[in-house]
Structure 1
Amino acid sequence: MIKGLYEAHLPVRNLKTAEAFYTKLGLELAWRDDETLFYWLEKGKSWLGLWEGKEVDTPYHPSLRHIAFRVSYSSLAEAEQWLGSIGVKAVPFGGRTSVAPFIRPYQGNGSIYFKDPDGNSLELMCTVEVPEQLKEVTEKFSIMEWEAHLREI
């Protein structure tokens, strides 16, 4: 199921300062929003997420307690069942109520979340080929919804 590391995260005090530094290191910017930068470590396979926030110096910051494992799209589609078979419950992400795997067209990836025994946030994540007409869509789709959209194109 797990093929490698998809992403790791670090908290930063200032995104502009972090962007200058990581760009100077030669990393390619993959995606950004107002509070987050993602740089490719291995293009299409793994990235580093940088999260701006005041909690950088505190013992807990969400970015310090989360990693994502790289899986294939077909493994992601079966991930909820696989997790259940090994006694691990999937958990919702953000404001979602569903625990099922979902697709983020605007980032070109899909995920399912779960926790380890210490409450660390873990994720199974894959890259997804996104047709040009869906690249700006910020809605998250279940895999079934995503595949229906692809059939309509």
Structure 2
Amino acid sequence: MIKGLYEAHLPVSNLETSISFYKRLGLELAYKQDKLVFFWIVKGESWLGLWETDRVEVPYHASLRHIAFHVDKEDILHAKEWLNEEGIIIRTSFGFDDEHQPLVLPNNPQAHAAIYFDDPDGNLLELIAPIRIDVEEEFEMMTFEEWLNRQ
């Protein structure tokens, strides 16, 4: 029955600033109202709603104000360079600074390569690529470079 995630929503303090930021990520504007905008993540399949509000300062928790964008394994290799070219600061996550990202999340029995950054309102954004599914090998969190050297 469920085929995937169709939409997610984030609060933003300034819609025009956020529109500019998300366009830099390559997302296509799908719909706009006075205090709401939707961007296609995958056209016709999934989109992101941004709601302008004065209530953006909700304390951060991973269950709130977080979006993970699925990317290909090949794209994650160039994600840091691409974000740097766009002037987007990579966020230190799980003790891994920008020099040590993307990192590999050992969500055993799966593994994902990911890199983290914030939008202008501090919403946590993530580029994530599945790199293995259903493998029983246990391992610690590491950089994606370390992961590739082990393969």
> What TM-score, normalized by structure 1, do the two folds share?
0.54
Give the corresponding residue for 1:72: 72
User: Which structure features the higher share of helix residues?
Assistant: 1
1:145 aligns with 2:146: yes
- Alpha-carbon distance between aligned partners in 2 of 1:130 and 1:145, rounded to the nearest angstrom: 18
User: In percent, how many aligned pairs have the same letter?
Assistant: 37
Equivalent residues in 2 for 1:22-101, closer than 5 Å = 59-62=58-61, 63-99=63-99, 100-101=101-102
In structure 1, runs of 5+ residues without a counterpart are 9-58
Larger deviation: 83-92 or 60-69?
60-69
Structure 1 ranges of 4+ moved more than 4 A: none
Superimposed CA distance per residue, residues 131-152 of structure 1 (whole angstroms, 9 cap, x where no aligned partner): 8463x22x112121101111xx
Name the SS for the 1:80 alignment partner: helix
- Alpha-carbon distance between aligned partners in 2 of 1:95 and 1:145, rounded to the nearest angstrom: 16
Q: Post-superposition shift, 1:103?
A: 1.1
Q: 1:64 to 1:133 in 2, by over 3 A?
A: closer
Q: 1:125 to 1:133 in 2, by over 3 A?
A: same
1:115 aligns with 2:114: no
Name the SS for the 1:84 alignment partner: helix
